[in-house]
Structure formats: structure tokens, C-alpha cells
């Protein structure tokens, strides 16, 4: 399930967009808000306690900050696709290699903690589904050939399992694995908080958004 669920989540999202053809990405803001809250809560409840067991707090803090900075760097190339915003021009026929490479690096890294903490699998899955839907809307609405879009989404789907496979088959000392997990925590913190902030419209109070955020936190706590 560690390898199958992330792949199915992305591919089924692509098929949903292909057949249903939703036009407005704004309709998925509540789903994005839920995924952001769920991922943030799981990161705090599951990953943070683990990393502090194997290395000192100063080192953890350093690698969390490096993870945040690294994700900001990746977003110069992905244009924010990791948190539901694809700002790449869709009138080009060229394959978006920069978008693909940055998303792939992000996806491989987010697969690392899954092998040793299976609860995080659900957080990654809930995070990937709305992102895959929005990414699929962009790909199918662009001038790319359908085969190129399928190639893109298929490779994107297997990147997280690749990260989990690498984590399972390359032994690292607990200290270094904790540092890598701290780096991933920084990535998750940046992604999830940006999703929560950007899903607000003009920072107005939104009862539905608040409700799905609370539900996401409660479910993450109960897992």
C-alpha cells in the first residue's frame, strides 16, 4: 500500500479531470484547506516527536529551516504547483521540464518518511490528490499532446514511491535519518501553511474553511 496508494491517488485524479472536465480550480479550495491542515497536523503529531529522539534540538531546527528554504528554492521552478498554483504558461507545446524536475524532487523527498511512519502515507495521499487534480487541469488545458500529459502525470505518480523505496533500501544511521526527516518537515511546514493562507479569500473569515481545517486536525490526531 505504501507504493500503490500514492500512484493510484495521482492517476485517478488525472482520470477524474479527463472525464469530468472541471474548469475552475477555485472549486477545490476547501479540499486544499483540508489537505493543508491534515498534513500540517500529521507533521506536528508524528514527525516532530520522532526527529527529536535521535538528534539535538538545534540540529533539528537547522534542518527544518533548510527544508523551508529548499522548498522556496524549488518553487522558483515549479511556480507553486506543490500547493495548488500552476503559474506556468499553458499556451506552449514544450514539455515543462523545470516544473517536472522540481515536482519530482519534492515528491521523492516527501516519500522518505512514509517507510518508517506509515501514518504519514495518509497525509501525503490527501496532499497529492488536490494537487494532482489542479496539475491535471493545467496539463489537459494546455497545448501539450495527450501522450505528453500522460507521461508527465505517470512519472509524477511514481516519484513518491521511489522516495519510499530509497528510504527502505538505503540504511542510514538514526542521526542522519532524523536530519533528513527534519528537512522534509521543513518542506511540509512550508507547503501546508502556504496552502492554508492561500485558500483564504482576502483573509476574510470563512466558516466552511475553518470547519474543514478543524476536521483535518481532529482526524490527524485520531490516527
pLDDT digits (tens, 9 = 90+) for 82-132: 777 776 666 667 888 888 899 999 999 999 888 788 889 999 999 999 889
Domain interval for residue 143: 4-22+35-222
Render pLDDT for 19-64 as a digit per residue (tens, 0 to 9). 988 866 666 788 888 999 999 999 999 998 888 887 788 999 999 9
Cell 544511521 maps to which residue? Answer: 173
What's residue 202's pLDDT? 56
> Among 31, 34, 39, which residue's Cα sits nearest to residue 13?
31
For 79, the 3-state DSSP assignment is: coil
Asked if residue 28 belongs to a domain, the reply is no
Q: How far is CA 135 from the centre of its chain?
A: 12
Dig out the grid coordinates for 35 from the structure: 489537505
Instruction: Report how far residue 216's alpha carbon sits from residue 46's, in angstroms, rounded to the nearest whole number.
Output: 14
Asked if residue 29 belongs to a domain, the reply is no
Q: Considering its fold, how many domains does the chain have in total?
A: 1
**Buried-exposed string 39-57: b where 16+ CB fall within 10 A, e elsewhere:** bbbbbbbbbeebbeebbee
Asked if residue 27 belongs to a domain, the reply is no
Amino acid at each position: 500500500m505504501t507504493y500503490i496508494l500514492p500512484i493510484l491517488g495521482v492517476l485517478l485524479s488525472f482520470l477524474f479531470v479527463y472525464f469530468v472536465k472541471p474548469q475552475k480550480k477555485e472549486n477545490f479550495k476547501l479540499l486544499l484547506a483540508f489537505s493543508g491542515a491534515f498534513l500540517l497536523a500529521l507533521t506536528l503529531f508524528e514527525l516532530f516527536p520522532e526527529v527529536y529522539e535521535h538528534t539535538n534540538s538545534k540540529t533539528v531546527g537547522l534542518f527544518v529551516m533548510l527544508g523551508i528554504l529548499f522548498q522556496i528554492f524549488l518553487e522558483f521552478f515549479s511556480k507553486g504547483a506543490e500547493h495548488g498554483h500552476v503559474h506556468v504558461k499553458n499556451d506552449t507545446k514544450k514539455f515543462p521540464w523545470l516544473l517536472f524536475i522540481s515536482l519530482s524532487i519534492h515528491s521523492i523527498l516527501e516519500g522518505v518518511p512514509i517507510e518508517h511512519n506509515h501514518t504519514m502515507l495518509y497525509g501525503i495521499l490527501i496532499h497529492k490528490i488536490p494537487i494532482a487534480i489542479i496539475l491535471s487541469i493545467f496539463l489537459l488545458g494546455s497545448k501539450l499532446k495527450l501522450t505528453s500529459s500522460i507521461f508527465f502525470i505517470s512519472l509524477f505518480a511514481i516519484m513518491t514511491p521511489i522516495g519510499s523505496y530509497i528510504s527502505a533500501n538505503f540504511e542510514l544511521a538514526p542521526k542522519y535519518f532524523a536530519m533528513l526527516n527534519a528537512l522534509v518537515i521543513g518542506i511540509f511546514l512550508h507547503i501546508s501553511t502556504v496552502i492554508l493562507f492561500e485558500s483564504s479569500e482576502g483573509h476574510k473569515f470563512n466558516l466552511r474553511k475553518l470547519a474543514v481545517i478543524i476536521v483535518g486536525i481532529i482526524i490527524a490526531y485520531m490516527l
